[in-house]
A and B are shown apart, each in its own frame.
Chain A
Amino acid sequence: MAILEEPIKEVKVVKNYIDGEWIESKGELKEVVNPATGKTIAKVPISTKDELDKAIEAAKEAYLYWRRTPPLARVRCLFRLKELMEENFEELSRIQTMEHGKTIDESRGETRRGIENVEVATGIPSLMMGYNLEDIASGVDEYLIRQPLGVFGAILPFNFPFMVPLWFAPYAIATGNCIVMKPSSEVPLTQLRVAELVEEAGIPPGVWNVVNGGRTVVSGLLDHLDIKGICFVGSTPTGKNVVYKKCGETGKRVIAGCGAKNCLVIMPDAVLDPTVAALMTSIYGNTGQRCLAGTNVIIVGEDESFYQRFRDAFIEKASKITVGYGLDESVQMGPVRDKEKKERIVNYIEKGITQGAKLTLDGRKVSIVGDYPDTCFLRPTLFEEVNPDMTIAREEIFGPVATFMKAKTLGKAIDIIHNIPFGNSAGIFTQSGKLAREFQYNTECGNIGINVGIAAPMAFFPFSGMKDSFFGDLHPQGQEVIRFFTESKVVIQRWL
């Protein structure tokens, strides 16, 4: 099968996009390496605080006229951006594969999901409307208007370089705010290309800014008093102890989407083949680097023959997964993002062995399609005989590792889920509507899948999350994020 052409031909030095200008940073440069080929594809700056401050200043100035721009005119920019994204769909997708490692199917799926957020944000003239009521008292009317707040900051993760930034930015600017984005320094190229399209779409200078960097930029965004709110997606320790805390101290709004440890409950009446296919995507899709990835598979009941049939079907499918460079169309699973992440996953595998779990599929034994260094590659891994108290069953591994557990009843399975500190997502596979409803009703998780491996909310629904998976009140996407980016102002009027 053909290897698709790489859109990045030479090492790019990434610039910041500030006030509609492409500005070279004075900060040191860090290499961006294609995790599949091991080749350097870009150099990204670790921008300085001064550079960030300039972006915030530009956004603050732009806000003064951008908030007065009629919502219809604002969304026309987004319509143009959407069209440009469609025109460049394939390039945007291949860049994601090159810098992140995911397969081309996964990248295209991500591109589609991102564009859907731009599409939903174009509905702002309706979605941002307030409401009113005449005669709350005789001759007195009351109405609510939604107003933008100013400048927002976005601190973005490595695992979805295209989609996650678009959970926020289109809504922020459609509602009349301005935004400063900090892409992950591991995957800056997708957002670089998006910023080029932002410029081409005619989004005015200062409205959408991109400042690349690391901790200095993160701290700068969190500390800056002109930043009204922070959108963050990343790990729980950073989200909980740094971002959420700091936003509380500085009076900022915050959306902090964090880590996860998602369980998939398999009832004995589950339809085997589609269940196993859904599990492959859930557990091994995006090489497990997804906050909605299923990892703990809890098989319910005492029917040993069902367990055997299920695990045999799972092993057969997982062991056949082709691993390699995501631009090779025959590849079903790409590498993890970098060497350090692979080492972290391998450490978890070793911990699982030490703690007594049975390693049925050992992903450390790598075989790759094509001639690539195995630096970042792993194969699908499966542990059986896992105890819910083991580290591999409780902590986020963020890699292609499945753990099989057994529970006698659905209630016991839900107990296992509730004993995990995270609450991002959980799924059940069953033909029983009654059990599915019981699961949906009782499980304390933000996103529930019923016969769905990845319960990824569409752009017009909030991307929820509970417990240690989310900090804040309103979630990304849809109506909730519009509330996040606007202040409700109530007016009561009487004409004398």
Chain B
Amino acid sequence: MKLNTASAVISFAKELEEDSTKYYENLIQKYTQDKEIFLAFIKENKKNIVSVQRVYQEGITDAIEGCFSFEGLDTDNYIFNQKLSADASYSNVLENAIKMEEKIQKFYLDSAEVSKSLMADIPRLFERIAKKRGKRKIEIKSFK
């Protein structure tokens, strides 16, 4: 599905963060060894939702191109498998988490790129979140 308005992009960002949260919540129910790290990710996801919402609501005005700035974003490029199969090993679960973080990182980077004509705060925040997502990938890889 195409994302062509600021509102759609912000809603989709929230959806990704929530799905990622659910994934980690399920993960720590099954595997507890790195629980503290994943709890920190969950906390950060919630913070991201608030930050994205805030920067959008505080930055959007009727003068910026909110309805016309987003082109070429498609949800199909960012959707990930959030289900944990019953027989998945810890290694598989981590592998899937890395893929998930890659997708989310790509979403934020692509959104940052197309929203550069909006107020600077919006692409800047997207880039910051993408950077954190990159760090997460490295962190998860270290558990394997």
Contacts and interface: CB of A to CB of B under 8 A. Distances in A.
Contacts of B4: 322, 330, 332
A212 interface: no
A278 to B, nearest CB: 6
Contacts of B81: none
A290 B61 CA distance: 14
Given A277-B117, A285-B67, A105 B1 contact: no
Interface stretch (A107-115, A177-185, A352-360, A381-389): A107-115
Contacts, number: 88
Contact of A456 (B6, B11, B60, B61): B61
Contacts of B64: 109, 281
B8 interface: yes
A454 interface: yes
Contact of A1 (B1, B59, B67): B1
Give the dominant DSSP class at B's interface.
Answer: loop
Interface string B31-56: 00000000000000000000000001
Given A104-B7, A112-B57, A329-B7, A280 B62 contact: no
Contacts of B117: 274, 277-278
A349 to B, nearest CB: 22
Given A108-B57, A109-B60, A329-B11, A278 B65 contact: yes
Most buried by B among A89, A113, A285: A285
Contacts of A278: 65, 117
A125 B56 CA distance: 30
A105 B2 contact: no
Contact of A106 (B8, B11, B66, B69): B66
B82 interface: no
Interface residue tally of chain B, by bracket?
20 to 34
B60 A112 contact: yes
A286 B64 CA distance: 12
Contacts of A89: 57
Given A105-B5, A108-B7, A332 B60 contact: no
B40 to A, nearest CB: 29
A109 to B, nearest CB: 4
A2 interface: yes
A315 interface: no
B63 interface: yes
Contacts of A103: 5, 7, 67
Contacts of B3: 1
A300 interface: no
Contact of B68 (A109, A280, A290, A456): A280
18 contacts: A103-B5, A105-B60, A105-B67, A106-B66, A108-B66, A112-B57, A112-B61, A160-B62, A163-B62, A277-B65, A281-B65, A281-B66, A286-B62, A329-B8, A330-B4, A333-B67, A452-B63, A456-B61
Given A112-B58, A329-B7, 17 more contacts: A1-B3, A89-B57, A103-B7, A103-B67, A108-B56, A108-B66, A112-B60, A278-B65, A285-B62, A285-B68, A286-B62, A329-B8, A330-B5, A332-B4, A332-B5, A453-B65, A456-B62
Interface of A: 1-2, 89, 103-106, 108-110, 112-113, 160, 163, 274, 277-278, 280-281, 285-286, 290, 317, 321-322, 329-333, 452-454, 456
